[in-house]
């Protein structure tokens, strides 16, 4: 999917990110603040901000947050939320995660949460994050990760892409660490967190056909081996659910 197509896709679905429990209230939000330990004089950059939830959680702890996204409609949603929350030290700018329009050594903190699996060139994103950070600056990442088993990772990414055509690939934790250190960072901490997903709300977040929803349900229920161990599907009176795994990685320039 081209970047223009991604803009169109997320523009259509922007409003859903304002209310998505996974994005707005995920446990990784507060934990990321705890791991980063931001300082009040810092200037922060939040990449692929979507509805702005990561920018907003850091805003009380830093001097200013520049929240960026490739999709103007996302920035409009985030800006409206900031006004509702009376958050005044966050600004919103359109920017490509792989070609940031900022000078070298501009920020003390770069954050990016639940977005890089949409980026076609992860190495460029990490390189750009390194470039715009000041020496000693902090790079804080949260993203869904793949299982370590190669076949299960392929099947898991297929499962994600069937729902969301803008999905490129979730990396494994080992792949993330390799890319981050290769671009010059020193990894400070790596954690994982389980994320329980309600299948119904997960498939309804995007406009997909009923037949695709049925296929995804079958893929989930019929998973086996390492993939089933990773997704842990379960069904009860509350409906079908499964688990994803988030990695929280903090590194320093």
Pairing assessment for the beta strands 186-198 and 239-252 based on DSSP bridges:
antiparallel
pLDDT at 3: 54
pLDDT of 13-30, one tens digit each? Answer: 545 544 444 444 567 899
Query: 3-state SS string over the chain?
Result: CCHHHHHHHHHHCHHHHHHCHHHHHCHHHHHHHHHHCCCCCCEEEEECCCCCHHHHHHHHHCCEEEEEECCHHHHHHHHHHHHHHCCCCEEEEECECCECCCCCCCEEEEEEECCHHHCCCHHHHHHHHHHHEEEEEEEEEEEECCCCCHHHHHHHHHHHHHHCCCCCCCCCHHHHHHHHHHCCCEEEEEEEEEEEEEHHHHHHCCCCCHHHHHHHHHHHHCCCHHHHHHHCCEEECCEEEEEEEEEEEEEEC
Structure confidence at residue 238 (pLDDT): 87
- The pLDDT of residue 26: 67
Query: Model pTM?
Result: 0.89
pLDDT digits (tens, 9 = 90+) for 193-233: 999 999 999 999 888 999 999 999 999 999 999 999 999 99
Model confidence over 156-193: pLDDT tens digits? 999 999 999 899 999 999 999 999 999 999 999 999 99
| pLDDT value for 22 | 47
pLDDT of residue 25: 55
- The CA-atom distances, in angstroms, between 103 and each of 14, 153, 200, 249 are 29, 36, 43, 24
Beta-sheet pairing, 43-47 with 64-69: parallel
Q: Which of 17-21, 71-75, 104-108, 170-174 has the weakest average pLDDT?
A: 17-21
- Mean pLDDT, the chain, rounded, equals 91
């Amino acid at each position: 999917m081209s970047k223009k197509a991604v803009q169109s896709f997320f523009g259509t679905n922007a409003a859903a990110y304002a209310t998505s429990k996974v994005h707005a209230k995920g446990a990784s939000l507060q934990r990321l603040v705890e791991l980063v330990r931001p300082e009040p004089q810092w200037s922060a950059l939040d990449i692929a901000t979507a509805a702005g939830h990561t920018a907003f959680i850091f805003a009380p702890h830093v001097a200013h947050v520049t929240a960026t996204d490739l999709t103007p409609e996302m920035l409009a949603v985030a800006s409206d939320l900031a006004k509702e929350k009376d958050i005044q030290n966050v600004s919103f700018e359109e920017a490509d995660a792989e070609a940031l329009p900022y000078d070298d050594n501009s920020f003390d903190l770069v954050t990016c949460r639940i977005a890089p699996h949409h980026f076609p060139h992860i190495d460029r994103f990490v390189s750009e994050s390194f470039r715009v950070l000041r020496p000693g600056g902090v790079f804080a990442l949260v993203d869904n990760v793949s299982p370590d088993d190669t076949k299960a990772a392929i099947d898991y990414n297929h499962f994600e892409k069937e729902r969301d055509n803008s999905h490129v690939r979730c990396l494994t934790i080992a792949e993330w660490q390799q890319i981050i250190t290769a671009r010059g960072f020193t990894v400070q901490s790596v954690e994982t967190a389980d994320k329980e997903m309600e299948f119904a709300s997960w498939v309804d977040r995007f406009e997909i056909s009923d037949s695709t929803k049925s296929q995804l349900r079958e893929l989930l229920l019929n998973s086996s081996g390492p993939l089933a161990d990773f997704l842990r599907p379960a069904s009860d009176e509350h409906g079908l659910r499964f688990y994803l795994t988030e990695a929280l990685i903090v590194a320093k320039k």
